[in-house]
Amino acid sequence: MPLGKQELLAAYRKMVTIREFEERLHVEVASGDIAGFCHLYSGQEAVAVGVTSHLDDDDYIASTHRGHGHCIAKGCDVIGMMKEIFGRRDGLCGGKGGSMHIADMSKGMLGANAIVGGGPPIAVGAAIATQLQGRGKVTASFTGDGGSNQGTVFEAMNLAVVLQLPTVFIFENNGYGEHTGADYAVGSADIASRAAGFGMAAEKVDGCDYFAVYEAAGRAVTRARQGGGPSAIECTTTRYFGHFEGDPQRYRAKGEVEQHRRAMNCLANFRQRVNAEDWLAPDQLDAVETEVRSLIDRAVSEARAAPAPALDDLCTDVYVSY
Amino acid sequence: MKSYREAINQTLAQEMRRDDSVIVLGEDVSGGAGGSSGKRDAAGGVFGVTAGLIGEFGEQRVIDTPISESAIMGAAGGAALAGLRPVAELMFADFVGVSFDQIFNQMAKFRYMFGGKTTTPVVVRLPTGAGMNMAAQHSQTIYPFLTAVPGLKVVIPSNAYDAKGLLATAIRDDDPVMFFEHKALYPRKCEVPDEDYTINFGEAELVREGDDVTVVALARMVGFAEKALDSLAAEGISADLIDPRTVSPLDEETILDSVENTGRLVVVDESNPRCSVAADIAAIVACKGFHSLKAPIKLVTAPHTPVPFARELERAYVPGPAHIAAAIKEVLQ
């Protein structure tokens, strides 16, 4: 058994929390009560959770515009996140960041990021800090297939190799960068081999298989903690929703999403594996699902009831002092 | 006497001694890594400003980076989130162009986007300005568009004494600070104490006091304005000469108080004229000090062109003492 029972249950709880959070947001956004953009992570849960299963609160991650899953996986408060997405004053960022900017330094979550490719340079900086501080800590950045084409990401990978930083570049290849296929936009055969070209260990795994991600991330995180420098992991996955909520997804063949929900379902894969191996009983997993659904219900009702920011908040937090 | 370059170098060393979390990073900040001579500190920065630091502080705190400005700026922001106080050098301020996202979308906004729950104590050092025939992509004074960004502070010292005190403040400050160093000022000397000191942001210096006109000048233009005023002294013309020192925050009060006394304003800046710091100061005085004005405000700036290469053209581009003197006489007519 690669993980203990409690760890397996915790991983499943996180993946289910992400799935339920996102599926519920899909409904809530359609109600019109959530302003702005929402980019949902449903389908990719095994990536965020497989990686963060190796990280503590004082390890860091940098995330993307599709960041809810990374936040939940890193331990951000689900109710605080929901309030933030609803633009509430007691949301995780006081209603000033919203879906695309959720951050929580106390959990080592350096921020979702609305700029594609914005996160890896920041992650490299956090890795410079922990390397200097001798903390033995690791920083992981998450980037999509779209972000993998940004120059900022190339710069960050090269700098990480030059300075042999304790960092892991996770590439989540969900098949589409915005409304354009990765097959078209990623010029190399795959993203992992391109990362390897920068001089780091890189591998490609099935991002719908929690255990495959967990094992690859374990190798990379261990390498980083032991001073072996950066690594990259490309996780092939899918997203069950559009680039953003409201995206008509005309670039996807009819039936693709339904087919992916059946064939590329990391939760179903997880259940199948732990049942087959007799690691966990189905009723334990069912109990987790019931518990998570009630948490998400509570998050939505608390977020709906929470107060909006005060207008005085408009001009605070720009500077520490000015 | 210490040069502007020496004052900055000494401050970096003093602040690095004072606080282990201060690091320096950038292209060639020590130099020589991987070179065939095997010598480190082969550059000490392209202008020699960071020379000697690697010897005292080592390569973990004086980090030579690849030529990757986005990674440098992003790494500075990320390291700040993780507890360091990075001083990042962009070899030339113009290189903001290849790293702007990490400055204005990332480090400038972390605190606000994250609901005030973090600090971003980054200093970005930006060698700036024309006068060395470095042409259009190595000579610009690009502080106007950084001054426009909420979340950034912008510092533009005009002399070695101020450079030292303002840099110490910048490094100890918890917000991201854009620290512009005018390249033509690097060898300029003045009295600078050895011991460390700070100068508050948002406090202009009244360089000279006079009655007839208020002259506001930035960076290299402060010295040129002094020359202009020297040339006008024989004609009995005297002026308040104000060096804002920081343009975000800007000490509006000192400028408005002075204009209230003199009734006339000349603003001198090496930047291009549109949407500039000079235009901003003129707008503030027009909005808040209109009733004090006895004459239209006059701006002395570079023209609305890129910085040219040829000596003759560059000399014509950069405002000089004669332009400033002519503008002062014009507002006094």
Are residues B115 and A319, on separate chains, in Cβ contact within 8 Å?
no
Is residue A243 within 8 Å of residue A181, measured between CB atoms? no
Nearest to B293 by CA among B256, B244, B242, B267: B256
Give per-residue pLDDT as tens, B59-118: 999 999 999 999 999 999 999 999 999 999 999 999 999 999 999 999 999 999 999 999
The runs of H, that is alpha helices, within chain A are 5-30, 45-52, 68-74, 78-85, 119-133, 151-162, 182-185, 191-197, 210-225, 256-263, 266-276, 282-305
- Give me the pLDDT at residue A251, please: 97
Is residue B201 within 8 Å of residue B154, measured between CB atoms? no
- Give me the pLDDT at residue A2, please: 86
- Give me the pLDDT at residue A198, please: 98
- Give me the pLDDT at residue A36, please: 94
- Give me the pLDDT at residue A171, please: 98
Angle, CA A161 vertex, CA A160 and CA A166 arms, to 5°:
55
Are residues A152 and B102, on separate chains, in Cβ contact within 8 Å?
yes
Are residues B175 and A320, on separate chains, in Cβ contact within 8 Å?
yes
Give per-residue pLDDT as tens, B179-233: 999 999 999 999 999 999 999 999 999 999 999 999 999 999 999 999 999 999 9
Which amino acid appears at position B190 of this protein? Answer: C
Q: How far apart are CA A85 and CA A98, in angstroms?
A: 5
Distances (CA, A) of A60 to A51, A71, A149, B84: 11, 11, 23, 14
The answer to whether B291 is a known catalytic residue is: no
Are residues A125 and B86, on separate chains, in Cβ contact within 8 Å?
yes
**How close is the nearest chain A Cα to the Cα of B76, in Å?**
6
Ordered strands of the B62-64 beta sheet: B62-64, B22-26, B85-89, B123-128, B177-182, B153-155, B246-248
Give per-residue pLDDT as tens, B261-295: 999 999 999 999 999 999 999 999 999 999 999 99
Q: Which of B61, B105, B151 sits opposite A118 (nearest CB)?
A: B105
Class of domain A5-315 as given by CATH: alpha beta
Pairing of strands B189-190, B213-217: unpaired
| pTM of model > 0.95 | yes
- Name the β-bridge partners of B267: B216, B299
- Give me the pLDDT at residue A302, please: 98
Residue B138 in this model has a pLDDT that exceeds 90: yes
Which tokens in the block code for residue B103?
Answer: 């400055």
- Residues in chain A within 8 Å Cβ distance of B82: 60, 110, 125-126, 129-130, 139
The parts of chain A modelled with pLDDT lower than 70 are none
Cβ-Cβ pairs closer than 8 A, A with B, add up to 156
Are residues A122 and B78, on separate chains, in Cβ contact within 8 Å?
yes
* Percentage of chain B modeled with pLDDT above 70: 100
Q: Which of A123, A129, A155 sits opposite B83 (nearest CB)?
A: A129
**Optimal mutation site among B113, B152, B154, B250, interface A, most CBs of chain A within 10 A:** B113
- Domains identified in chain B and CATH numbers: 2-190 (3.40.50.970), 205-332 (3.40.50.920)
* Residue B207 CB neighbours (<10 A): 19
| DSSP 8-class letter at B95 | G
Q: Which of A97, A110, A127 sits opposite B115 (nearest CB)?
A: A97
Ordered strands of the B265-268 beta sheet: B205-208, B239-243, B213-217, B265-268, B298-300
Are residues B115 and A91, on separate chains, in Cβ contact within 8 Å?
yes
Q: Please state the ipTM of this predicted complex.
A: 0.95
Residue of B nearest to A160 (CA): B71
Burial label, A23 (beta-carbon count in 10 A; 0-12, 13-18, 19+): middle
Task: Tell me the three state secondary structure of residue B300.
Answer: strand
Domain borders along chain A are 5-315
Q: How far apart are CA B205 and CA B255, in angstroms?
A: 10
Please report which confidence band the pLDDT of residue B139 belongs to, taking 50, 70 and 90 as the band edges: very high
The predicted model gives B159-164 an average pLDDT of 98
